Amino acid sequence: MNIKKSVVLAVASVFVLALAGCGVSHTVHAPDNTVQSMAAIEMPSIIETPDDYEDIVTLPDVLPEGWYEFLHRAPDEIIDDPNVALAMLIAGNERFVYDALMPRNTTLADRDINATGQWPFASIVTCADSRVAPELYFDQKVGDLFVVRNAGNFADETAIGSLEFSVAVLGSRLIVVVGHTDCGAIIHAHGGTTGLPTALQNTLGRIAELIPYATDVEEATREGVMSSVEILRANEVVIEHGALVVGAVFDIETGRVIFIEDLPY
Ligand SMILES: [Zn+2]
């Protein structure tokens, strides 16, 4: 047995023990208030994931009582621990990777709550690319994520202002900047494309300023993400409210969101 499998099994054991220890019944409440058996909901990913992120993400040592709320939550449930929010995103992305999406219809009851306000548990900065939709790749519902999208997923003035609102007013305590593979904006910003319409050329120019050291597109993608992460970590509103800012790259081919911390060089 290799080390990775040992870690996976150890983590799996923790999950099983936590489940047994906290007395949670093996049922979850689907959005339509029907009850489904756990066996009917495949989520192999949840016990296969944490070791992939052990250097980056601090998952709770013991899952909180009612851990299945990682899968289901009412729109007005407040998640004020950024690590719990991150674990919820990781669990959702694993469901996406394994084609094990939850039935996530927004019900009449959900809409009644949504009509009274919003309580997004995470804020996402991601690309405008049509293949990169955070509510889908994180398997979340309407009201769960506060999303800022632009070509190249960078923290420009509009994005920063929007995120200050989500942190200071809506109470979001986690910001994730998500770049992606095969990003046209990064490819052209890195390649120094010229002769484009003015606004587009200006956008690519601002992205290029964030990726001065990258030698290829993959590095440029990660450097762009982490440059925006650093900008947001230095933001006074983010600091004041203790929000966690992390970077990631969404792989269009595999569907997996890979969390990054350091530049690859
Ligand atoms: Zn893109």
- Say what the pTM is: 0.75
**Torsion (CA) 264, 226, 221, 156 in degrees, nearest 10:** -160
- With a cut of 50, say whether residue 42 has pLDDT above it: no
Tell me which residue of 57, 132, 126 sits closest to 91, measured CA to CA. 57
Ligand 1 centroid–CA 182 distance in Å is 7
Which domains, and CATH codes, for the chain? 1-265 (3.40.1050.10)
Contacts of 163 (CB under 8 A, 6+ apart): 123, 125, 146, 148, 155, 175, 232, 235, 237, 238
Ligand 1 centroid–CA 222 distance in Å is 12
Ligand 1 centroid–CA 212 distance in Å is 18
Ligand 1 centroid–CA 124 distance in Å is 14
Ligand 1 centroid–CA 7 distance in Å is 34
Q: Which amino acid is at 217?
A: V
User: Tens digit of pLDDT for each residue in 114-151?
Assistant: 999 999 999 999 999 999 999 999 989 889 999 999 99
User: Tens digit of pLDDT for each residue in 61-116?
Assistant: 444 444 434 554 677 878 888 887 887 888 888 778 877 777 666 788 888 989 99
Compute φ and ψ for 89, nearest 5 degrees: -70, -40
User: Tens digit of pLDDT for each residue in 180-189?
Assistant: 999 999 999 9
Q: Which residues surround ligand 1, an ion (CB under 5 A)?
A: 127, 129, 183, 185
Ligand 1 centroid–CA 169 distance in Å is 28
